[in-house]
Amino acid sequence: MPSFVTSPEDRAHATTLAGHPFTMPRRLRRNRLVGRWIAAWLGATTLGVANAAVRQLVYADRVGELAVHQISTVTLLAALTYYIWLLDQQWPVPTTRTAIAIGGSWAALTVLFEFGLGRYVLDSSWSDLFANYNLAAGRIWVLVPVWMALEPAVLQRLRAIRS
Cα gap 21→17, rounded to integer Å: 8
pTM for this structure?
A: 0.80
Structural domain count of the chain: 1
Question: Does the residue 77 lie in any domain?
Answer: yes
pLDDT at residue number 121: 94
Question: Does the residue 126 lie in any domain?
Answer: yes
Share of the chain above pLDDT 70, in %: 84
In this prediction, residues 57-69 reach a mean pLDDT of 96
Question: Does the residue 9 lie in any domain?
Answer: no
Is the pLDDT score of 14 beyond 70? no
Question: Does the residue 1 lie in any domain?
Answer: no
Question: Does the residue 49 lie in any domain?
Answer: yes
112-136 confidence digits (pLDDT tens) = 999 999 999 999 999 999 999 999 9
CB atoms within 10 A of CB 135: 10
Question: Does the residue 5 lie in any domain?
Answer: no
Q: Which domain holds residue 110?
A: 26-162
Label residue 82 by pLDDT band (50, 70, 90): very high
